[in-house]
Amino acid sequence: MVRETGTILQKDFMIKPQNHFFGDSFTAGDEIVDHKYVESYPPYLNFREWFESKDKSRPSLHHLSKSEYESLIKEERQNSYAGIVEGINHAESGMSLQNMCRLIVNTLESAKTKQRIFIQPSGIERWCEFVDGQWTDFNTTPPKDQHKDYYKFRVSHSTESSNFEAWQSIFLPLISYVSNHHNTLDWFIINNGTLNELIGIIDREKLQGKGVLNAVDHWRQHIINFPQVDAMDEPFYCKGGHVNQKAHKILADKISKLLVD
């Protein structure tokens, strides 16, 4: 009986930690495989070319059938950096930092063994509410449903400064929680450019952003940049503003090196 219990404990101990990825469309893999489904797909751009382009809309996918679109979504997740390293991809397009926080807490509190947590924070323009029986993310794109009045109220009573303060009040405690949780083996922040944008906003708007600035400096060893953040002259950008397969593979290689025991 003792030997049996010992065997079970040994098996539990030998279970490899899972790698959980939380983020928005960048982690979900938006636009990675569009070139397979869109005829005469436009060339990839570097940051300056993409930023200065007049049309930043993602090529239409309306010609796809439901099954074809589902195949595209599946391919996106498989070909994202999270999919390449065979992690558990919790990301969704348009996800807010609030929603990520909720999912991360649920993941760590229900875990039976140590986990690695990767967080790709989204921008300050997004927020999350529990409406109509479910958690719903909002952003700067007006909704086309019964939430219009609420959206107008929320946006009209918000500023870039207030959005930043709300974002900061979630981000700082979240990282502290993750880094100190007994079920966290290791943790990383995946920066798709959001942190750089925030630093620019802090400087431009003269915001009280010492919390974020100090945190970014203190957590530097835990921050992994998407390649387009460090190589802005490289043509990583798809037409809609996400990055291509090459960028995801480079990022996946960075992460794989960290996962070697």
Q: Considering the entire predicted model, what is its pTM? A: 0.90
The token duo for 153 is: 């109220």
10-50 pLDDT, tens digit each: 444 456 789 999 999 999 999 999 999 999 999 999 999 99
Cα separation, 41 vs 26, whole angstroms = 19
The token duo for 201 is: 């906003």
The token duo for 156 is: 């009209």
Residue 149 confidence class, pLDDT cut points 50, 70, 90:
confident
Contacts of 40 by beta carbon, 8 Å cutoff, 6+ apart: none
Domains belonging to the chain, first-starting first, are 18-259 (3.40.50.1110)
**How much of the chain is helix, strand and coil, in % rounded to 5?**
50, 15, 35
63 vs 217, higher pLDDT: 63
Phi, psi at residue 213, to the nearest 5°?
-60, -45
Q: CA angle at residue 61 from 57 to 67, to 5 degrees?
A: 150
213 vs 107, higher pLDDT: 107
Task: Give the per-residue pLDDT at 143.
Answer: 82
What pairing do the DSSP bridges indicate for beta strands 127-131 and 134-138?
A: antiparallel
Give the residue-averaged pLDDT of 162-186: 95
Residue 229 confidence class, pLDDT cut points 50, 70, 90:
very high
233-256 pLDDT, tens digit each: 999 999 999 999 999 999 999 999
Task: Give the per-residue pLDDT at 257.
Answer: 93
Task: Give the per-residue pLDDT at 206.
Answer: 84
